[in-house]
Amino acid sequence: ENNLNDLGVNTGIAKITNPIKDRRSIIDQARDRAETSQSCGSLQVNAIVEKEYQSLSKQINNSKKAAQQILIEPGQNFKDSVARMMHLERQIAPATKTAFIQKSPSSAQLEVWSVNKDRTTQQVKLLQEQFHEVKPILHLSEYFNSKVATAQVGNDLVTLSELRKQLNETNEAQDIKRKEILDRAHRTRTEEEEQRDWLQAKTEGIKSTLASLPRELSASELPIALIIQDETDDKPLASIHTLVSQSFDRIVELEDRKFTLSRNPECDAMRNASNVARSLKRLFNKKARSFWADWTALEHDVLNSGLNISDDLTAMREALKKARTSISETKEEQREGLPKWETLSLSIEIKTRENRIETLTRILDSPDSSERLEGAEEKYTELETLTQQSQNLADQFNGFQWLTSQGAEAIKSDNGDHILSQLRADATALPLVSQWLLEAAEWQLNPSDFEFENCLVWVEYQTIRHIIRNWSDMDVLLMRDSKINQIEKEVRKLRNIVNQSCINAICKQFKKGVTRIERHPTVHSFRQEFAKTGRNRKSLRKLYHKHSHELTQLFPIHLTTPEVICNLFEGRDECFDLLIFDEASQVELQDSATCLLKGTSIVVAGDEHQMPPSQYFKGSSEHLYEEDNDDEYTGADIEVESLLEFCQQQPQFNSRFLDFHYRSHHPSLIQFSNHAIYSRLVIRPTTLTYKPIQLLDVQGTWENQHNLDEIDEIIRTLGGIVVPDEKPPKVMIATFNVRQRTEIIRAIEESKEDQEFRDHIAPLEEAGLNVKNLENLQGDECDILIISIGYGRTPSGKFVRNYSLINRKNGYRLLNVLITRARYKVIVLNSIPREVHSQYEQELTAGTQERWSRGLLHAYIQYAQSVSNGDEDRTNRILQILKSNSLRGNDQIQAADEAFESPFEEEVWNVLREQYEPTEITLQQPAMGFRIDMVVTPQSHPGLKIAIECDGEAFHSGWQNQLADFHREKLLRGAGYEFVRIWSRNWWMDTPGSGRQLFNEIDQIKANWAIKEVALPDWITKEIEFETSTESPVIIEPEAEVLPSTLDKSGNSKAPEPEAQRPAVILNHVLAPCLVTAKLMQGEEETTEIRYLFLSDRINSFRGHTRDQWQELGRLSQKMATFGEEHEVYQAFQGKEVGDTVNFRSNQFKVVDLGFDD
């Protein structure tokens, strides 16, 4: 039901386990859907994807035919050419990181080489052989050309030496003149810079003085405002001084007038008088009238000056006085080379100096430029004469026709003497080098190409590649990425289309069903026919008998049991298009035989290694039904165990295996069963880091078919589980018998009397906490599984290997069901002594199904302990033992061979090696039942796994394969793999480009990748606190003794092979090989007698039997155990003498006898 909901199918499902109890929900669902008006979509599955893939398949077949039959050059077809190309690729593989191998040849090179590949190969091979002769002087080839073969090189070299000497002398004279000019220019620039800096300092001083004047002056009508408001610096200093003086004089005048009037007695009188009195004074008082006229005139003059009568004229006067004094002092200063201050404009003079400095700087930077230094005309004339002489000498070098321009320049350079000496030393060999260079140029090759020993291989490789790329029939082979990508998109849409089409079909079927029911002659209305209560109420059985076809239209999907189907569809066959039986190993044939007739197609799903049909729920009332013994024929006895077994024996059923394991979220939860029983399950890897299995070694007492110590520990474990507020885990407690289950339930109920425990466990009960025994576990699953093994020492200290159902032939099936119920975590409570479950290996190889099942239980305890302790080595060893003794025998999981499956993969591997070490690239890595061509695990990104898929023809061979490949990729992505796909056709066509694209995709994955830390709930990560119990001495009840016998591999008696006689050694202490008889001590009392046979790694026989024979006898015997020298038991006994005591774990032994080889 959950899977159907995940697919979007959440309607049209009838879930019926009890026709009486489930009637109401079915009626409600039918009526609600009928009363709800809904439109059904028209989307249907089309054949676009399949047609596209059929077209691709046809194209691929044509491609293969062309590759094998059409010749791309004389004597070679496409397939052979590709094989030769890959062979050459392997030869140059060691040099794949060199720039030469990585570079691509030019189009001109490829055109020349591909005209005749064989001739190209021969000529390049000859050039490569001659290369070693010309290599010592190839570095001189840039200095001469082909005319060197007919030139008098020796005489020319003498002349060149004389010319070089004269040129050097002329150049030295030029350098001297040039230096004299530059020194003068440098001195002149220094003087100009000093004058500029002095002028700038004075300018800044004047600006600072003017800036300190009161703000009122800048807005006034005084001459000083013209200076302050003018931001330019082009006024002469004398003009500035005049304007400042005029402003000062004007301020002084106004201040004197204001001062005089303010001292007039009438001033105070007028100031203190009221407005009326002030007006009368102005009319009738002559002095007042005179004072007022003067004051009014003063105000008028102040305002005309752009000031206010209230301004502080005194402060203005002092500021202007200070500025006039500062400017006057500056006028008195003078500097050599500058004009008088009266005509000096600061900004113009500063700019003049800066222009001169720039000119001098250009002369210093470029002495040979057209700009000239003033006053140095004579030196410039001398320099020009020397330059002309130097040019005449240089032109004479170009007169030697065999000398290249580069050679002429090299001889004229500082290293010219050395080059001339090299040319003189190899003058006779220069023509040979010239001829070799001409031939190399004919084949578009440079001398540097022959530096690599793989040059010939590289040329042939690139030639074949070019021929293939330009092959006229290549269009038949080429697979376009755009077309493939389009089909990939169609495939991704296919599932959504199918899901939506299914929903639409369910909707349409429902409407048809409603219409058919309403048209029935005895039906008044759909609502009345499906009445909930009242006189029209009908049972579910009556409705199905009356409208069987219509109800399958209303509910196309039924989730129910065989008994219910037979009841509802009594007397009707093929009611369903598809009939699926789940958990068929638990279904008896007699309960489902008639149900098989109800489906057109039948799928029977089950696990033969899990629970058989159980008698646990069957009552003892069968005697109430008498059989008619008078029947003429009663039928043959049913000899099959279940419906699953019956269908496996029928030829009409085709068997398919479900290889994917989805339940367990950690591999350790299913690895045990996979190695011991299935050997084929695909287990999804995990990045979760926690202990999925915890072993609590309780060592409790087994009494009256239950273990109270384990029950107490279960209560404590339940109390220790961290219960979150949301989504508490589903916990299931599993026991090996009914009594233990009953006592656990009773203990939980009693513990719930404590309010704190009751509140703690309430969410767990709501989440589905339950207690089950082996017989009713199948089909259930949980987040946390608590296994109570129960079996342990009796109160008297004895232990009996009586595990009830586990001891039976198919007991392993019950154990398999038990240990595979958990999704996240298993907690195992064990009381079986270590001495018992540590012998699991001998029991697994005992040869009987019963002992193998028991050994599997002991092995699981050991496995749980190793996982709980985090001992990976021990865990892997246990799994290896299980694999060697698995139920499926030799049908084991095969390890992947690290090898290339195609030359294409080898080429991709070689390219990856350019950036990754071999340890970072894994070939044919197995994952979830698949094999990945290559997996890159960059050391720079721990945890990152990049799957490189080299897709060949099989990928495109059909849409079914494509769908399967997408499913595979989805599973692997869920397991933490990132994917990069490489198309083989594109790789053949453009290996460098494909290689770059490959690295670009890998780099993009690395850039976007981050370790996805999954926050696990505490109930998964937190371990149950437990203090390991101290094991008390145990008395193991013996089983029936298996007499020793020497058997060969076929089971026949076999005499031991004679061994070379060894010298007799008298021993009195334990030393392998030897037989030790010891007694278990309880206090001072000797109890059970035990025999240990310690075998030697150096000596192969003991008392007439080989080491392997004794090990086999030890496995079969219940009174003697065999151990090698590496075992901890031997290490405890080694060196002990008769009478010594040995402390091993919690037990104490006393050595009573030693037996050595005769």
- The pLDDT, as a whole number, for residue 700 is 92
Q: What is the arrangement of strands in the sheet containing 693-697, beginning at the earlier edge strand?
A: 693-697, 822-830, 782-788, 731-735, 770-773
Of the candidates 910, 909, 907, 936, the residue with the CA atom closest to the CA atom of residue 921:
936
Give all strands (DSSP E) within 406-497, no chain letters. none
Three-state secondary-structure class, residue 15:
strand
Residue 1027 vs residue 174, higher pLDDT: 174
Residues 20 and 108 in one domain: no
Judged against a pLDDT cut of 70, whether residue 1148 lies above it is answered with yes
Residue 576 vs residue 394, higher pLDDT: 576
Cα atoms in the Cβ-side hemisphere of radius 13 Å centred on 877: 9
- Given a contact cutoff of 8 angstroms between Cβ atoms, the answer to whether 1022 and 722 are in contact is yes
Q: Of 845, 863, 884, which closes a domain?
A: 884
Main-chain dihedrals φ then ψ at residue 936, nearest 5 degrees: -100, 125
Three-state secondary-structure class, residue 661:
strand
- DSSP letter string, 191-257: HHHHHHHHHHHHHHHHHHHHHTS-HHHHTSSSHHHHHHH-----SBHHHHHHHHHHHHHHHHHHHHH
Q: Which of 226-230, 897-901, 906-910 has the lowest mean pLDDT?
A: 897-901
Task: Name 474's Cβ contacts closer than 8 Å, sequence gap at least 6.
Answer: 468
pLDDT-derived band of residue 831, with 50, 70 and 90 as boundaries?
very high
For residue 960, is it within any domain?
no
Judged against a pLDDT cut of 60, whether residue 183 lies above it is answered with yes
Judged against a pLDDT cut of 50, whether residue 1102 lies above it is answered with yes
Of the candidates 874, 793, 875, the residue with the CA atom closest to the CA atom of residue 833:
793
Q: What would you measure as the largest C-alpha separation in the chain, in angstroms?
A: 167
Token readout for 693 is 């299995």
For residue 330, is it within any domain?
no
Q: Of 884, 904, 922, which closes a domain?
A: 884
What is the per-residue pLDDT across 718-729, written as a single tens digit (0 to 9) for each? 999 999 988 899
Residue with tokens 């059970």: 1088
Q: How far is CA 746 from the centre of its chain?
A: 50
Q: Which of 170-179, 610-619, 739-748 has the lowest mean pLDDT?
A: 610-619
- Given a contact cutoff of 8 angstroms between Cβ atoms, the answer to whether 609 and 586 are in contact is no
Judged against a pLDDT cut of 80, whether residue 742 lies above it is answered with yes
What is the per-residue pLDDT across 624-676, written as a single tens digit (0 to 9) for each? 233 334 444 344 455 677 888 888 877 778 777 766 676 777 888 888 888 88
For residue 327, is it within any domain?
no
- The pLDDT, as a whole number, for residue 628 is 38
- The pLDDT, as a whole number, for residue 480 is 43
pLDDT-derived band of residue 1052, with 50, 70 and 90 as boundaries?
very low
Residue 289 vs residue 1060, higher pLDDT: 289
pLDDT-derived band of residue 749, with 50, 70 and 90 as boundaries?
very high
Q: Which of 873-877, 917-921, 1094-1098 has the lowest mean pLDDT?
A: 1094-1098
Sign of the alpha-carbon dihedral angle for 594, 595, 596, 597: positive
- Range with top average pLDDT, 293-307, 330-344, 987-1001: 293-307
Of the candidates 1157, 1127, 1100, 1155, the residue with the CA atom closest to the CA atom of residue 842:
1127
- The pLDDT, as a whole number, for residue 472 is 65
pLDDT-derived band of residue 751, with 50, 70 and 90 as boundaries?
very high
Three-state secondary-structure class, residue 825:
strand
Main-chain dihedrals φ then ψ at residue 1130, nearest 5 degrees: -65, -40
Of the candidates 694, 691, 1093, 671, the residue with the CA atom closest to the CA atom of residue 877:
671
- Range with top average pLDDT, 279-293, 354-368, 822-836, 1014-1028: 822-836
Residue 792's CATH number: 3.40.50.300
Look up residue 629 and give its DSSP letter: T
Taking residues 1030-1049, report their average pLDDT: 50
What is the per-residue pLDDT across 365-377, written as a single tens digit (0 to 9) for each? 777 677 777 767 7
Domain span at residue 735? Answer: 660-884
Residues 708 and 581 in one domain: no
- The pLDDT, as a whole number, for residue 620 is 33
Residues 749 and 827 in one domain: yes
Taking residues 1122-1133, report their average pLDDT: 81
Judged against a pLDDT cut of 50, whether residue 1048 lies above it is answered with no
Three-state secondary-structure class, residue 51:
helix
Residues 688 and 723 in one domain: yes
Q: How far is CA 712 from the centre of its chain?
A: 45
Residues 773 and 839 in one domain: yes
- The pLDDT, as a whole number, for residue 754 is 93
679-708 burial, b for 16+ CB within 10 Å, e for fewer? bebbbbebeeeebbbbbbbbbbbbeeebbe
Q: Which of 227-236, 296-305, 912-921, 1004-1013 has the lowest mean pLDDT?
A: 227-236
CA distance 249 to 434: 96
**Tally: H helices and E strands in the chain:** 45, 26
For residue 872, is it within any domain?
yes
Residue 1060 vs residue 1156, higher pLDDT: 1156
For residue 105, is it within any domain?
yes
Of the candidates 8, 42, 26, the residue with the CA atom closest to the CA atom of residue 554:
26
Residues 517 and 456 in one domain: no
Residues 608 and 756 in one domain: no
- DSSP letter string, 665-722: SSTHHHHHHIIIIIS--EE------S-SEEEEE---B-BTTB-HHHHHHHHHHHHHS-
Token readout for 439 is 């031939």
pLDDT-derived band of residue 1040, with 50, 70 and 90 as boundaries?
very low
What is the per-residue pLDDT across 384-396, written as a single tens digit (0 to 9) for each? 787 787 788 778 8
Three-state secondary-structure class, residue 664:
coil
For residue 666, is it within any domain?
yes
- Range with top average pLDDT, 14-28, 918-932, 971-985: 14-28
- Given a contact cutoff of 8 angstroms between Cβ atoms, the answer to whether 341 and 238 are in contact is yes
CA distance 1118 to 1116: 7
DSSP H helices, 519-618, are: 526-529, 540-546, 548-554, 562-568, 589-592
Judged against a pLDDT cut of 60, whether residue 341 lies above it is answered with no
Main-chain dihedrals φ then ψ at residue 227, nearest 5 degrees: -75, -45
- The pLDDT, as a whole number, for residue 1116 is 67
Three-state secondary-structure class, residue 976:
coil
Residue 189 vs residue 371, higher pLDDT: 189
Q: Which of 128-142, 435-449, 479-493, 602-616 has the lowest mean pLDDT?
A: 479-493
- The pLDDT, as a whole number, for residue 552 is 87
Residues 564 and 424 in one domain: no
Residues 584 and 705 in one domain: no
CA distance 908 to 239: 87
Look up residue 538 and give its DSSP letter: -
Indicate the length of the chain as a whole number.
Answer: 1158
Q: Of 866, 884, 902, which closes a domain?
A: 884
Residues 444 and 521 in one domain: no
Task: Name 669's Cβ contacts closer than 8 Å, sequence gap at least 6.
Answer: 692, 693, 820, 822, 823, 824, 826
Task: Name 395's Cβ contacts closer than 8 Å, sequence gap at least 6.
Answer: none
Q: How far is CA 78 from the centre of its chain?
A: 38
Of the candidates 554, 494, 557, the residue with the CA atom closest to the CA atom of residue 3:
557
Three-state secondary-structure class, residue 543:
helix
For residue 38, is it within any domain?
yes
Of the candidates 116, 121, 64, 122, the residue with the CA atom closest to the CA atom of residue 88:
121
CA distance 689 to 872: 14
Taking residues 1141-1145, report their average pLDDT: 84
Q: What is the pTM of this model?
A: 0.49
Judged against a pLDDT cut of 50, whether residue 1057 lies above it is answered with no
Q: In total, how many domains does the chain have?
A: 4
Residues 408 and 500 in one domain: no
Residues 456 and 534 in one domain: no
pLDDT-derived band of residue 217, with 50, 70 and 90 as boundaries?
confident
Which residues on adjacent β-strands are paired with residue 1154?
1076
For residue 973, is it within any domain?
no
Judged against a pLDDT cut of 50, whether residue 1044 lies above it is answered with no
pLDDT-derived band of residue 783, with 50, 70 and 90 as boundaries?
very high
Nearest-Å Rg of the Cα atoms of the chain is: 53
Residue 1001 vs residue 6, higher pLDDT: 1001
Residue 685 vs residue 1124, higher pLDDT: 1124
Q: Which of 293-302, 577-586, 656-665, 1016-1025 has the lowest mean pLDDT?
A: 656-665
Cα atoms in the Cβ-side hemisphere of radius 13 Å centred on 670: 24
Judged against a pLDDT cut of 70, whether residue 66 lies above it is answered with no
- The pLDDT, as a whole number, for residue 899 is 57
Judged against a pLDDT cut of 80, whether residue 469 lies above it is answered with no
Q: Which of 513-517, 1034-1038, 1071-1075 has the lowest mean pLDDT?
A: 1034-1038
By the 10 Å C-beta count (0-12 exposed, 13-18 middle, 19+ buried), 368 is classed as exposed
- The pLDDT, as a whole number, for residue 249 is 87
CA distance 95 to 914: 9
Task: Name 796's Cβ contacts closer than 8 Å, sequence gap at least 6.
Answer: 1035
Task: Name 406's Cβ contacts closer than 8 Å, sequence gap at least 6.
Answer: 142, 143
Taking residues 868-891, report their average pLDDT: 81
Judged against a pLDDT cut of 70, whether residue 984 lies above it is answered with no
- The pLDDT, as a whole number, for residue 958 is 42
Task: Please state, rounded to an integer, the average pLDDT across all residues of the chain.
Answer: 77
Sign of the alpha-carbon dihedral angle for 1092, 1094, 1095, 1097: positive
- Given a contact cutoff of 8 angstroms between Cβ atoms, the answer to whether 741 and 775 are in contact is no
- Range with top average pLDDT, 531-545, 742-756, 926-940: 742-756
CA distance 146 to 432: 10
CA distance 451 to 798: 84
150-188 burial, b for 16+ CB within 10 Å, e for fewer? ebebeebbeebeebbeebeebbeebeebbeebbebbeeb
pLDDT-derived band of residue 789, with 50, 70 and 90 as boundaries?
very high
Q: HEC string of 87-154?
A: HHHHHCHHHCCCHHHHCCCCHHHHHHHHHCHHHHHHHHHHHHHHHHHHHHHHHHHHHECHHHHHCCHH
Q: HEC string of 1022-1060?
A: CCCCCCCCCCCCCEECCCCCCCCCCECCCCCECCCCCCC
Taking residues 21-48, report their average pLDDT: 75
- The pLDDT, as a whole number, for residue 954 is 39
